Amino acid sequence: MSPVAAPSRTAPLAATPAPGNGNGGDGANIHALGGDSRIEANNCTGADRGIVGEHDVINRCVDQLGLARRTFNRRFKDSAGITPHEFVQHARLKTSRDLLMFTNRSVEDICHEVGYDDVATFYRLFRRRFGTSPSRYRRQLA
């Protein structure tokens, strides 16, 4: 019988990109962050709606996993193809798009609900991601 090696503390993330833009940008299904620290994506980052309103979700994940911030960022990007910040931002923008489609809430209310404090920043990021402003996006749906 050959000896079984102990799990490595530097093992890379095991992630399966979720359907989306091809690089995992709309969400990565993260199974583990190295070693024996098995954390399901929903426990750390949450489902899209679970992470959008939380301002400090990345720091919470880093603390929960007991990793250095730089290590977490590197392993996340190696696995998912995007940074944790980009992952959270994509989830927030996707949720805001859904709220614009399916609710009558004001753009400002949606902006704050998904975790942005500054409406101008929200508009700029939304326009960059979807090619139009949130207000115009909603009008085009009507």
CA–CA separation, 31 vs 62, rounded Å?
15
Residues 62 and 103 in one domain: no
CA-wise closest residue to 79 among 139, 25, 7? 25
* 77-119 confidence digits (pLDDT tens): 999 999 999 999 999 999 999 999 999 999 999 999 999 999 9
**H/E element, 73:** helix 69-80
Q: How far apart are CA 50 and CA 46, in angstroms?
A: 5
Q: Provide the residue range defining the domain that includes 101.
A: 92-141
> Does 104 lie in the same domain as 65?
no
The tally of domains found in the chain comes to 2
> Is residue 1 situated within a structural domain?
no
* 56/38 Cα distance (integer angstroms): 21
Question: Is there a single domain that holds both residue 28 and residue 56?
Answer: yes
pLDDT digits (tens, 9 = 90+) for 31-65: 444 443 333 344 454 444 455 666 688 888 899 99
Domain boundary among 52, 69, 88: 88
3 state SS of 34: coil
pTM equals 0.65
Determine, yes or no, domain membership for 2: no
Q: Phi first, then psi: what are they for 14, rounded to 5°?
A: -105, 105
**Residues 72 and 132 occupy one common structural domain:** no
Residue 105 confidence (pLDDT): 96
DSSP string, 92-115: HHHHHHHHHHH----HHHHHHHTT
Q: Are residues 82 and 105 in the same domain?
A: no
